[in-house]
């Protein structure tokens, strides 16, 4: 798996939504088993899935020798695409594409750089080179849903690529029901709905609930957003499959009629009641409050957004 972004452990954690036995083997690269190709195309922090041919030292000659010795059961035209992951090896990708391509030509393949039947990917990274046939590529259309381009926009909306990763970790898929109890403009709901989940949003402000419904109707076409209190959800026990929410940031002492601590703690208790798993994003650790609400804190990722903001991504299981 060719990972995206700069945080491989987080990318690998999201990739568990589409595969098993994931192991980061070098910066930007992971191996996996049992890949669900359809789900893999919906990952935010995996760019591409390849069927591994083999691995070797990170140089052109070794990659060429690997391809020359490999068993190839494909027919049709081919193209070779090489990449030096994060510029870690200083290998000439142009030389790699030309040299490995020549090996394939000698083996009887025709090269088509514009529309090949098969694409051989050669990845150079720290200490290794992985070679494989491309089988799936993620649909990277997040720019089409920039917060500022939505029918309803308010400052501070989460980037679509991050919202997609969070809902994947929370179990969003066709047939699953995903809740955001502090949905704001609905960015989490959009990404969950676009991977096929049924979405439910709650927000304490009538304006936000109405606006989020407009956005959900525009991008997803189906979903329910209501005005409500995250500490007293109008939902029955165990009616939700996964929860994602972005807790309020800052050090404000009052939010509506709640203190910040009461709001987050109460919301954690409520989502524990209705769902078996949750991804909570915040500007600080809420581990103690999550455990007090009954959650098992599976992982916490600290993801830097900019110099003054680090997101704490809490992955919680019941």
Domain that residue 22 falls in: 2-137
Neighbours of 62 (CB within 10 A): 16
Mean pLDDT, the chain, integer: 96
Which of these three, 137, 167, 187, is where a domain ends? 137
pLDDT (0 to 100) of residue 309: 85
Tell me, yes or no, whether 129 and 205 share the same domain: no
Is residue 3 over pLDDT 60? yes
Tell me, yes or no, whether 126 and 245 share the same domain: no
Q: What is the pLDDT of residues 184-210, one digit of tens each?
A: 999 999 999 999 999 999 999 999 999
Is residue 308 over pLDDT 90? no
Q: What is the pLDDT of residues 245-291, one digit of tens each?
A: 999 986 543 455 678 999 999 999 999 999 999 999 999 999 999 99
Which of these three, 109, 137, 165, is where a domain ends? 137
Q: Residue 306: which pLDDT band, with cuts at 50, 70 and 90? A: confident
pLDDT (0 to 100) of residue 61: 98
Tell me, yes or no, whether 261 and 116 share the same domain: no
pLDDT (0 to 100) of residue 259: 87
């Amino acid at each position: 798996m060719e990972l995206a972004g700069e945080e491989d452990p987080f990318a690998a954690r999201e990739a568990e939504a589409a595969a098993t036995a994931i192991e980061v083997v070098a910066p930007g690269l992971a191996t996996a088993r049992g890949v669900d190709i359809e789900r893999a195309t919906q990952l935010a922090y995996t760019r591409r899935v390849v069927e591994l041919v083999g691995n070797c030292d990170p140089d052109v000659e070794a990659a060429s020798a690997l391809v020359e010795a490999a068993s190839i059961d494909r027919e049709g035209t081919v193209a070779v695409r090489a990449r030096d992951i994060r510029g870690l090896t200083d290998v000439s990708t142009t030389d790699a594409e030309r040299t490995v391509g020549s090996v394939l030509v000698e083996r009887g393949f025709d090269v088509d750089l514009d529309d090949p039947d098969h694409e051989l990917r050669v990845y150079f990274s720290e200490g290794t080179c992985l070679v494989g046939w491309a089988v799936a590529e993620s649909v990277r259309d997040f720019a089409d849903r920039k917060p500022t381009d939505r029918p309803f926009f308010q400052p501070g909306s989460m980037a679509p690529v991050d919202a997609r990763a969070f809902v994947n970790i929370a179990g969003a898929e066709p047939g699953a029901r995903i809740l955001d109890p502090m949905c704001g403009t609905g960015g989490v709901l959009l990404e969950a709905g676009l991977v096929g989940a049924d979405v439910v949003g709650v927000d304490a402000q009538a304006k936000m609930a109405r606006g989020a419904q407009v956005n959900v109707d525009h991008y997803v076409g189906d979903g329910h957003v209501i005005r409500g209190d995250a500490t007293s959800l109008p939902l029955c026990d165990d009616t939700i499959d996964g929860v994602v929410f972005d807790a309020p940031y800052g050090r404000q002492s009052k939010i509506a009629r709640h203190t910040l601590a009461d709001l987050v703690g109460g919301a954690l208790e409520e989502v524990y009641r209705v769902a078996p798993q949750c991804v909570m994003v915040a500007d600080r650790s809420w581990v103690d409050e999550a455990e007090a609400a009954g959650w098992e804190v599976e992982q916490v990722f600290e993801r830097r957004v900019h110099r003054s903001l680090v997101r704490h991504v809490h992955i919680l299981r019941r």
